[in-house]
Structure 1
């Protein structure tokens, strides 16, 4: 089965991301119950729109690229479900930062 997000093309300066899953174990190796897990504010960029246009009609380049791990705001964005997977859509300017290795 093909990944459903590959059929989705964001418009303008929108970015399709999927939140990264929280670890099920603590640093010390203790299994955490679902209630103790904090929601991750990290996500993987899966698709990008072409970018927004300035007043002159020129396309402003996006600040991220597909495959980047980004920090997203705790609130905001648009939740969508494609087949069985959940994704979020943010504007390029809403992305807080990019995590590098």
Structure 2
């Protein structure tokens, strides 16, 4: 991971997630190319924004932390490339659960 990626600071309630790749490329004896695979729905939190503002003007702290492993919707977020690696920028509300 390069210096540029480590300096990413998401805004508001956004988080930067590193998708976890599926370990398996073969199903039976049929090869599944990368273009036909489903998007990963698990990832590890790489960076967390400060949280969103409430209607009263108070900052609402995020429920996730850097290093948390999370589940998110398959079509959530915006894909970005930082220092040659793929990441997703998601809203905290796109995260479905924190998993062990």
Q: Same fold (TM over 0.5)?
A: yes
Unaligned runs of 5+ in 2: none
2:72 is the counterpart of 1:61? no
RMSD across aligned positions (CA)? 2.2
Q: Distance in 1 between matches of 2:78 and 2:39?
A: 16
Residue number among 21, 26, 31 corresponding to 1:33 in the alignment: 31
Unaligned runs of 5+ in 1: none
TM-score between both structures, scaled by the size of structure 1:
0.82
2:75 is the counterpart of 1:75? yes
TM-score between both structures, scaled by the size of structure 2:
0.83
Post-superposition offset of 1:68? 0.4
**Paired residues of 1:46 and 1:66 also in contact (CA < 8 A):** yes
Post-superposition offset of 1:72? 1.0
Q: Distance in 2 between matches of 1:76 and 1:38?
A: 13
Residue-pair matches, total? 97
State the match for 2:12 in structure 1: 12
Q: Distance in 2 between matches of 1:32 and 1:53?
A: 49
C-alpha offsets along residues 4-46 of structure 1, whole Å, 9 cap, x if unaligned?
32111000000000100111377xxx78734385542100000
